[in-house]
Amino acid sequence: MIRFEHVTKRYDDGTTAVDDLSFEVAEGELVTLVGPSGCGKTTTMKMVNRLIEPTSGRILLAGEDIASADPVELRRRIGYVIQQVGLFPHKTVLENTATVPHLLGVKKDKARARAAELLELVGLDPAVHGPRYPDQLSGGQRQRVGVARALAADPPVLLMDEPFGAVDPVVRERLQNEFLALQRTVRKTILLVTHDLDEAVRLGDRIAVYGQGTVEQFAAPAAVLAAPATPYVASFVGSDRGLKRLAVTPVTEADLEPAAGAPAADGARLPLGASLREALALLLQEDSGRLAVVGADGSAEVLGVLTPAAVHRALRRAGERETESEGGSGA
Ligand code: ADP
Ligand code: MG
């Protein structure tokens, strides 16, 4: 859907912000770009909607070279969400959300009705928040309006540059979870920039780990954590990457031990497919050190039992799998 082919950006002062970048984002995929400040993430993103032109290489959107697209028409197909949100201070939340459809010639009533739907979608009550002005909202609420506005023209592609960066960690985690739930329904093709590895791991179907203007590794979060492709990636993901991997490794049937006898009726139950992190959190509260695992739909039938040793085995096994399938692969 979005394809970078040997893209380089050198600014007039000689700074090479992006150096021979090649990777592809599949349709409906959410790819996070993660790396330290100044590594070229924003430059990468702004080349997709042609706010910045590459020095060499090309970018294809749905097979079409964007260099030959009309920039205005291009931006209609691409929603853009930035950290500063960029809401118009003198317009209400509803008017802000309706801006793009309105510009596209949608009649005012219809644009407003659509804006109200979108506010609902991002968890704001249009009757309560719609008539307010941006400075009457909290940071997290403004961020939601930014997302609603980006979705208003129903673009197939979303670019999100540190979208949750301006809110505190608790609100951020809630926004991230809501955003993931939203993405499961809208299935946009998304490039999301963050400098926060935890956010990249939590949100990304795949992660592009940036060095200086280059992608050091492009792989699923579990693969990046289990098998960093380079020493740089290893130091970026840190020595606690095992802990981070817990969050992206699901409990599978192979991890379970037989449920011998009837398990305690009131013990905690974990649905199959939940993360090892959730499993470990529950296990730590269980006096028995055993956790009954039920079907992914939360059904009553106990499929087996998970123990701390099984969590350890599952993590080791998942690590070996990732190393075999993706180890050493770069962009
Ligand atoms: P990130 O978003 O990862 O923090 P940027 O893409 O904004 O990184 O910047 C990458 C590099 O390019 C940095 O060294 C930055 O200073 C430089 N840079 C960004 N914009 C310009 C510009 N307009 N002119 C010159 N250098 C720039
Ligand atoms: Mg940036």
The pLDDT value recorded for residue 101 is 79
- The encoded tokens of residue 212 equal 């200086």
The pLDDT value recorded for residue 262 is 53
**271-310 per-position pLDDT tens digit:** 999 999 999 999 988 888 889 999 988 788 889 999 999 9
Closest CA to 46 of 4, 13, 6, 15: 4
Average pLDDT along the chain: 88
pLDDT at 238 over 90: no
Query: In this structure, are residues 330 and 227 in contact, taking their beta carbons and an 8 Å threshold?
Result: no
Point out the ligand 1 atom lying closest to the alpha carbon of residue 16: 12
The pLDDT value recorded for residue 329 is 42
Query: Which residue's CA is the nearest one to ligand 1's atom 25?
Result: 11
Helix axes 308-326, 276-283, angle to 10 degrees: 170
The pLDDT value recorded for residue 330 is 42
The pLDDT value recorded for residue 263 is 55
DSSP tag of 242 = H
The pLDDT value recorded for residue 167 is 76
Query: In this structure, are residues 163 and 82 in contact, taking their beta carbons and an 8 Å threshold?
Result: yes
pLDDT at 327 over 60: no
DSSP tag of 213 = S
The pLDDT value recorded for residue 190 is 96
Question: In what helix (H) or strand (E) does residue 103 lie, and over which residues does it extend?
Answer: helix 93-103
* Distance, CA of 65 to CA of 11 (rounded, Å): 21
Closest CA to 191 of 220, 162, 221: 162
**24-53 per-position pLDDT tens digit:** 999 999 999 999 999 999 999 999 999 999
pLDDT at 265 over 70: no
DSSP tag of 257 = B
Q: Which of the listed residues 8, 13, 15, 194 should we mutate to test ligand 1's pocket, taking the one with most ligand atoms within 8 A of CB?
A: 15
Residue 182: band (very low, low, confident or very high) from pLDDT cuts 50, 70, 90: confident
Helix axes 108-121, 93-103, angle to 10 degrees: 120
Query: In this structure, are residues 276 and 241 in contact, taking their beta carbons and an 8 Å threshold?
Result: no
Query: In this structure, are residues 29 and 206 in contact, taking their beta carbons and an 8 Å threshold?
Result: yes
Point out the ligand 1 atom lying closest to the alpha carbon of residue 44: 6
* Distance, CA of 156 to CA of 242 (rounded, Å): 35
Q: Which of the listed residues 7, 8, 10, 11 should we mutate to test ligand 1's pocket, taking the one with most ligand atoms within 8 A of CB?
A: 11
pLDDT at 13 over 60: yes
What is the average per-residue pLDDT within 171-192? 87
Give one DSSP letter per residue of 42-56, joined into a string: HHHHHHHTTSS--SE
- The encoded tokens of residue 94 equal 């509803």
Q: Which of 13-17, 112-116, 164-168, 202-206 has the lowest mean pLDDT?
A: 164-168
Task: List ligand 1's pocket residues with C-beta within 6 A.
Answer: 11, 13, 15, 17, 37-43
- The encoded tokens of residue 299 equal 């059904």
pLDDT at 171 over 90: no
